[in-house]
């Protein structure tokens, strides 16, 4: 029964076929493969057959335990001090003893804090590097998303006027977006260079030499902020364009009405511009958040996660595991985690910004 409808459908499927096949092979299949691999010990190349390992990969990533220790005391019962600080028993005694302390086995110190009564609590983790990567990535998102969105909005409002030559500014602000992040990151290595970098030269000149050069990417305190600053600069033009399109949907007569009613610039922004940008703002926050969570090329080009793991990121760890260490299962586990994490944040954002009656 080949009626015209099914025939047309067949032609339709044939036309959609190539695109559909590519999507299945390169997007849908890998997604399910990653989920499947995360429950195995799959390696990139291995002579041994792949085995199902249950949730072991996830336990390794998220294995966390806390351990509170008493300070060491001498024969008189006084606290042993060294360099003005109490001395605590070595952690190795706990983390290497699978018999007595299976819960601490092979874990490493993530961080610790002093408690009252000469006690100290240690947070131990099976995968400290991964947790640092999560912490850095979240920090990156928390700083980059609002700053980038805010700056982009500011620029969009500046260029949203009809002045001669305004397109030149639009093009200039948009230019970094067109350049690949890899290229941008390579260029910015010159800016951030510790000896003769442009930034150090500039700061030195502006402070008449009073400011000593900083190794921006080599210092654990400045490396992540430096990467944040560059990332904001690179992406701000893209979001500016989205804001600009949102601004242009606001009718000019609303601004004129506000002007006649006597609204100040701030009041105009508050009562006209911002409410008119509501949907754009939601879109931008979701896009920026998702983009920022996939922080990778900057790290790969500029710091490789260093110094002292201060710029590890989730995606960098994912690639590092999967290809650097050939641990496809471990990399897949991280990618599944990232998927669920970003998904839940997007859902949360969607819920928070839902249309209320």
Structure tokens at 49: 């057959």
Does 48 interact with other proteins (rule: CB under 8 A)? Answer: no
The values of phi and psi at residue 219, to 5°, are: -105, 125
Please, which residue, 275 or 350, has the CB nearer to other proteins? 275
Please, which residue, 37 or 243, has the CB nearer to other proteins? 243
Please, which residue, 137 or 273, has the CB nearer to other proteins? 273
* Nearest approach, Cβ of residue 349 and other proteins (Å): 20
Element (H, E) at 321: none
Does 51 interact with other proteins (rule: CB under 8 A)? Answer: no
Beta bridge partners of residue 86, listed in sequence order: 81
Please, which residue, 103 or 267, has the CB nearer to other proteins? 267
* Nearest approach, Cβ of residue 254 and other proteins (Å): 6
Residues within window 270-329 making contact with other proteins, judged by CB under 8 A: 271-272, 275-276, 278
Please, which residue, 3 or 264, has the CB nearer to other proteins? 264
* Nearest approach, Cβ of residue 248 and other proteins (Å): 16
Does 97 interact with other proteins (rule: CB under 8 A)? Answer: no
Please, which residue, 51 or 256, has the CB nearer to other proteins? 256
Does 128 interact with other proteins (rule: CB under 8 A)? Answer: no
- Long-range contacts at 42-47 (CB < 8 A, ≥ 24 apart): 42/328, 42/329, 42/332, 43/326, 43/327, 43/328, 43/329, 44/322, 44/323, 44/326, 44/327, 44/328, 45/326, 46/326
The DSSP secondary structure of 140-179, one letter per residue, reads HHHHHHHHHHHHHHHHHHHH-S--TTHHHHHHHHHHHHHS
For other proteins, how many residues bind (rule: CB under 8 A)? 18
Residue with tokens 């979240």: 138
Residues within window 230-269 making contact with other proteins, judged by CB under 8 A: 251, 253-254, 256-264, 267
Please, which residue, 76 or 355, has the CB nearer to other proteins? 355
Beta bridge partners of residue 79, listed in sequence order: 73
Element (H, E) at 76: none
* Nearest approach, Cβ of residue 275 and other proteins (Å): 4
From start to end of the chain, where are the E strands?
A: 64-70, 81-82, 85-86, 108-115, 119-125
* Nearest approach, Cβ of residue 271 and other proteins (Å): 7
| 8 A C-beta contact, residue 173 and residue 240 | yes
Under the rule (CB under 8 A), what is the footprint of other proteins? 251, 253-254, 256-264, 267, 271-272, 275-276, 278
């Amino acid at each position: 029964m080949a009626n015209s409808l099914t025939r047309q459908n067949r032609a339709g499927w044939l036309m959609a076929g190539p695109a559909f096949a590519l999507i299945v092979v390169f997007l849908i299949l890998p997604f399910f493969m990653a989920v499947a691999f995360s429950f195995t010990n799959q390696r990139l190349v291995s002579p041994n057959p792949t085995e199902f390992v249950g949730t072991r990969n996830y336990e390794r990533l998220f294995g966390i335990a806390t351990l509170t220790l008493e300070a060491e005391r001498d024969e008189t019962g006084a606290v042993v001090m060294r360099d003005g600080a109490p001395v605590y028993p070595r952690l190795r005694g706990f983390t290497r003893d699978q018999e007595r302390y299976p819960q601490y086995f092979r874990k490493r110190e993530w961080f610790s804090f002093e408690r009252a009564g000469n006690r100290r609590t240690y947070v131990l983790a099976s995968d400290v590097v991964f947790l640092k990567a999560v912490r850095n990535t979240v920090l990156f998102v928390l700083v980059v998303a609002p700053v980038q969105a805010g700056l982009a909005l500011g620029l969009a409002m500046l260029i949203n006027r009809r002045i001669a030559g305004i397109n030149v500014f639009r093009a200039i602000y948009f230019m970094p977006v067109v350049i690949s992040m890899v290229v941008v990151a390579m260029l910015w290595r010159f800016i951030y260079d510790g000896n003769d970098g442009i930034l150090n030269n500039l700061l030195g000149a502006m402070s008449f030499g009073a400011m000593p050069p900083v190794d921006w990417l080599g210092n654990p305190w400045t490396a992540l902020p430096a990467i944040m600053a560059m990332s904001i600069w690179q992406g701000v033009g893209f979001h500016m364009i989205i804001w600009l399109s949102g601004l242009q949907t606001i009718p000019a007569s609303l601004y004129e009405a506000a002007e006649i009613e006597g609204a100040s610039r701030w009041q105009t922004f508050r009562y006209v511009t911002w409410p008119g940008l509501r949907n754009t703002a939601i879109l931008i926050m979701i896009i920026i958040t998702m983009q920022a969570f996939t922080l990778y090329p900057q790290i790969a080009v500029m710091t490789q996660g260093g110094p002292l793991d201060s710029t590890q990121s989730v995606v960098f760890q994912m690639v590092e595991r999967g290809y650097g260490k050939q641990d496809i299962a471990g990399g897949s586990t991280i990618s599944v985690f990232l998927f669920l994490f970003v998904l839940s944040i997007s859902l949360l954002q969607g819920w928070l910004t839902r249309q209320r009656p």
